[in-house]
Amino acid sequence: MGLLSKKDANLILDPLADNNPITIQVLGICSALAITAELQASLVMAIAVIFVLGVGNVVISLMRNIIPSKIRIIVQLIVVATLVIIVDQVLKAFAYELSKTLAVFVGLIITNCIIMGRFEAFALANGPWKSFLDGIGNALGYGVILILVGFFRELLGSGTLFGIPVLGDPIAKTGLYATGYENNGFMIIPPAALIVVGIIIWVQRTKNPALVEEN
């Protein structure tokens, strides 16, 4: 990466794997459970969080020297809420269809612990450029897991990807369904997300034993 110094590049790359907000820090689980039954919803959520966390981190970082420490959490909340409402309003005016898909995420983004966590742990102590990279990196790390979980849940639960049937028609029994395969209804209910996330964590720690905590 010629564009970024090694340190800066790590800000983006670390959260993708070895310091992933979902699988290592176990943050943002609530939204990972709620919206990953479909790949499309996962993708939309990932993009929304990348935007909010990237911009929010910069805003908080710029304000870091003037925010009174007593009310910093409230200030952080206001910044997130404002950003989310701006996105929501602009989409409603210029991309109405998309805004309807997003409506359900607005509340989930504001309460996403990854966002508050990065504001508090990183942006309050670092400059805007570093904070921006950190925000994008963490949001990407979150998004990657979301999309991965969404992929498996939609494929196994509904036999579709992005709403398009990929395994054949379950009612007419064509494609894979002709062999007696059935969709697993369990995959579309929230507990399945927990299991998929658990499997991802297991695979990741098996490949990299350094991540396993000592007791």
Partner 1 sequence: MAINTDKNSYTVVFAAVMVVVVGSILAFLASYLRPTIAENERFEKQQNILYAMGVNENGDDVGAVNFVPKEIVESEFANYIKEQLVIEGGKITENKDAYLIDLKKQLAAKKKGQPYKLPVFIGEKQSKKFYIIPMYGKGLWDAIWGFVALDETMTVQGVYFDHKGETPGLGANIKMRYFMDDFSGESILKGTQYAGIAVAKGNNDPLNKDKDDNEVDALAGATITGNGVSAMIKESVNLYKPYLEEIRAK
CB of 70 to partner 1, least distance (A): 5
**Under rule CB under 8 A, which residues in 75-134 are in contact with partner 1?**
75, 78, 82, 85-86, 89-90, 92-94, 96, 103-104, 107
CB of 101 to partner 1, least distance (A): 8
Q: How far apart are CA 50 and CA 136, in angstroms?
A: 6
Q: How far is CA 134 from CA 10, 13, 53, 115, 138, in A?
A: 9, 9, 9, 11, 6
**Of 8 and 51, CB closest to partner 1:** 51
CB of 213 to partner 1, least distance (A): 33
**Does residue 154 touch partner 1 according to CB under 8 A?**
yes
**Does residue 38 touch partner 1 according to CB under 8 A?**
yes
The answer to whether the CB of 91 falls within 8 A of the CB of 98 is yes
How many residues line the site for partner 1 (CB under 8 A)? 39
Tokens (6 digits) for 104: 């359900």
Task: Return the residue of 1, 171, 210, 212 that touches partner 1, per CB under 8 A.
Answer: 171
Tokens (6 digits) for 85: 């409402």
**Does residue 67 touch partner 1 according to CB under 8 A?**
yes
Q: How far apart are CA 50 and CA 52, in angstroms?
A: 6
**Does residue 205 touch partner 1 according to CB under 8 A?**
no
Tokens (6 digits) for 153: 């849940």
CB of 154 to partner 1, least distance (A): 7
